[in-house]
């Protein structure tokens, strides 16, 4: 079924050859664009990118496009992704309560060099991760309540950014305590003032709020207006409604994503806002039991392959604009929610509609070519809205 000029939804009995004939796309191009592997099996309900005349091919999108990557990203994945990016955010540097900068466990220089060779700006990411790899809000409080530690951290950030030729700094502080709300906004303002003078932009990742006084540890310490005024850019972390320890549901339901975007636009100029987009999904064993069930993370290609292997039909939820399916394995029923070109199209359309500056992906460790081709095509159209 041809859903629109860019997307075809696989029907019972479809083959790659038949779909190519229906859509007018060369078979080889269809296989390449959708990363199909021999013998080219398909799942009923699977969404394929079929593009439009002249639209298939890599190329940097005309709006802002970036994503987060660990320094250990696979080289082939990195090389495939870089042509679609404006910036790459390298995750991550940490810090101590005394303000000493903590480098990633794996050297980040190879990713920085690859990015610069590809004409993509490398961006340092700063997070309050503890030794266990989790966000540590006590560490945030200890740092921000100590002016000397803050100055020490900023000084060390300057030294490393200059040494490694980073072109931006992203501040990704999560679970900021309510009592640190003003101090955190002031920290972003301080960093932006210092680094802007050096030609380095500062961005901030924001928890997905829908109101000023939204309760919860994830939200209470984040002041959209103050951070939006201080930073050069912000990214809305519009994902994780469906998460590994929660009940099965869409990771980024579009109706909730829209609510966050609308609230953000009431506090921050559109030209500063990027929409966060998940590059992953989850597989939950059923029945779900709170505190016991834990979903497995998987990427889009893995999800589709699961559906193919188990003969599952992929359904599309209209409210959340997200694909899902069920399968049985070893007597256990599973529920899978993930992202495909249809769900990504809904998010890219929201970016166009709201005239946001672009999209930020968490994360870039998996390459999903159909999504990038669609983004390039849609961002080219979105750019026309700004001219």
Residues with catalytic function: 174
DSSP for 256-323 reads HHHHHHHHHHTTS-GGGEEEEEES-EEEEESS--TTT--PEEE-HHHHHHHHHHTTPPPEEETTTTEE
The total of other beta-carbon atoms located within 10 Å of residue 142's CB is 17
Dist CA 130 CA 135 (whole Å):
6
124 contacts 103 by C-beta, under 8 angstroms: no
Residue 356 in tokens: 């946001």
Question: Are the CB atoms for 86 and 167 separated by under 8 Å?
Answer: no
CA distances for 323 relative to 256, 311, 335, angstroms: 16, 15, 11
* Distance (Å, whole) CA 208 – CA 185: 16
- Helix (H, G, I), strand (E, B), or coil: what is residue 362? strand
Residues 6+ apart with CB under 8 A from 271: 357
d(CA 300, CA 129): 27
What would the two tokens of residue 159 be?
Answer: 């030294």
What does the angle CA 31 – CA 304 – CA 55 come to, to the nearest 5 degrees? 35
What is the C-alpha separation between 43 and 313, in angstroms, rounded? 6
Q: Can you give the length of the chain in residues?
A: 387
Residue 327 exposure: Cα atoms within 13 Å on the Cβ side: 20
């Amino acid at each position: 079924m041809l859903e629109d000029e860019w997307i075809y939804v696989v029907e019972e009995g479809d083959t790659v050859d038949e779909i190519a004939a229906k859509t007018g796309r060369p078979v080889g191009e269809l296989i390449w664009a959708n990363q199909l592997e021999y013998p080219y099996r398909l799942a009923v309900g699977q969404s394929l990118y079929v593009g439009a005349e002249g639209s298939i091919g890599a190329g940097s999108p005309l709006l802002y496009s970036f994503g987060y990557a660990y320094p250990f990203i696979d080289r082939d994945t990195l090389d495939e992704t870089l042509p679609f990016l404006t910036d790459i955010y390298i995750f991550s540097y940490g810090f101590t309560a005394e303000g000493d900068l903590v480098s990633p466990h794996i050297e980040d220089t190879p990713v920085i060099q690859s990015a610069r060779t590809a004409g993509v700006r490398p961006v340092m990411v700063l997070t309050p991760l503890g030794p266990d790899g989790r966000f540590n809000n006590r560490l945030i409080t200890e740092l921000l309540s100590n002016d000397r530690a803050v100055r020490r951290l900023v000084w060390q950030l300057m030294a490393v950014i200059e040494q490694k030729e980073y072109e931006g700094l992203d501040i990704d502080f999560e679970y900021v305590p309510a009592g640190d709300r003003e101090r955190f906004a002031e920290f972003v303002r301080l960093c932006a003032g210092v680094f802007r003078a050096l030609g380095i932009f500062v961005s901030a990742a924001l928890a997905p709020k829908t109101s000023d006084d939204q309760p919860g540890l994830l939200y209470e310490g984040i002041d959209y207006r103050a951070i939006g005024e201080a930073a050069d850019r912000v990214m809305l972390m519009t994902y994780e409604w469906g998460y590994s320890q929660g009940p099965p549901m869409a990771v980024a339901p579009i109706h909730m994503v829209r609510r966050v975007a609308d609230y953000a636009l009431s506090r921050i100029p559109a030209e500063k806002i990027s929409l966060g987009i998940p590059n992953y999904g989850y597989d939950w064993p059923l029945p779900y039991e709170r505190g016991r069930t834990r979903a497995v993370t998987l990427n889009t290609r893995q999800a589709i392959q699961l559906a193919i292997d188990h003969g599952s039909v992929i359904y599309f939820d209209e409210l959340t604009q997200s694909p899902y399916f069920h399968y049985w394995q070893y007597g256990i029923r599973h529920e899978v929610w993930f992202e495909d070109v249809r769900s990504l199209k809904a998010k890219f359309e929201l970016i166009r509609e709201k005239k946001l500056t672009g999209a930020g992906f968490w994360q870039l460790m998996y390459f999903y070519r159909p999504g990038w081709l669609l983004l390039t095509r849609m961002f080219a159209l979105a750019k026309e809205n700004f001219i």
